[in-house]
Amino acid sequence: MLGRISKSSEIISGIPGSGVDHDEIPFSLTEEFVSVYRMHSLLPDNIAFFEAKQGKHQATTPLADLTFQRAQKPLESGISFGDLFYSFGINYPGAITNNNYPNFLRDLHTPDGLHRDMGTVDIVRDRERGVPRYCAFRRMLRMSVPETFEELTGGNKELAEQLSEVYNGDIELVDALVGSHSEPVIPGFGFSETAFRIFIVMASRRLKSDRFIAGQWNAEMYTKEGLHWVQYTTMKDVLTRHFPELEDTLKNSQNAFAPWAMKAESKNYQGIETNAKKI
């Protein structure tokens, strides 16, 4: 409403236009950020494909059959880009929590001929690169540290017993990723507070290092029309501009990043890919 009250303060007027600041070192992503940005649990084992205009279910395909050289199979079978976007909009991602790793990543055969368990790779990578274990990680963030496995899991006794068995009863040995996937999620959050603390720091760091956002955020760089587009165009606008068949769906959706409104025919599909788990 008021524009930039301060020329340099991001606290008063936000990061855009506040000036680039690299904090005296070249911009880089930290090991901590790489550690908490392990979102493999988001990937489902299957994807359900639907037709965008009427919402009719077309196919449900294992994600393992859509990787690497097979990534174009849906398009080659006649599914359009609009259909793909609609399908992704109504398919649920996996929850970022323990015991929810996609099976195909635990048995991953890559084009280079290697066979990997990515769940193991995630943990080994942190250990080999010196990322602190969960409790030490939180201490360095000035966060509280659980004293028991049950406290870590927010009262989930079954998970607490599993973790205690794996880590020989020593909570200090819990890996950063495992711990952050075990702690209870704050209502409204999609992932742990431990990960969020790193995310919020790195997001600000990235924007402050971007000369097109923190620095030359003005009409001289973008043109007056371009700056208006950047500020007022939403992801809904981008999608409907390229795929008009998505307009009816998106106008009834909260935003492009929340689950999209489903067509009537799509609601006939009863698979877990598009239906919340019934408890």
3-state secondary structure the chain: CCCCCCCCCHHHHCCCCCCCCCCCCCCCCCHHHHHHCCCHHHCCCEEEEECCCCCCEEEEEEHHHHCHHHCCHHHHCCCCHHHHHHHHHHCCCCCCCCCCCCHHHHCEECCCCCEECHHHHHHHHHHHCCCCCHHHHHHHCCCCCCCCHHHHCCCCHHHHHHHHHHCCCCHHHCCHHHHHHHCCCCCCCCCCHHHHHHHHHHHHHHHHCCHHHHHCCCHHHHCHHHHHHHHHCCHHHHHHHHCHHHHHHHHCCCCCCCCCCCCCHHHHCCCCCCCCCCC
| Catalytic residue of the set 37, 101, 222, 232 | 37
Interatomic CA distance for residues 204 and 126, integer angstroms: 24
Q: Reply yes or no on whether 269 is catalytic.
A: no
Interatomic CA distance for residues 115 and 107, integer angstroms: 7
Which residues are annotated as catalytic?
37
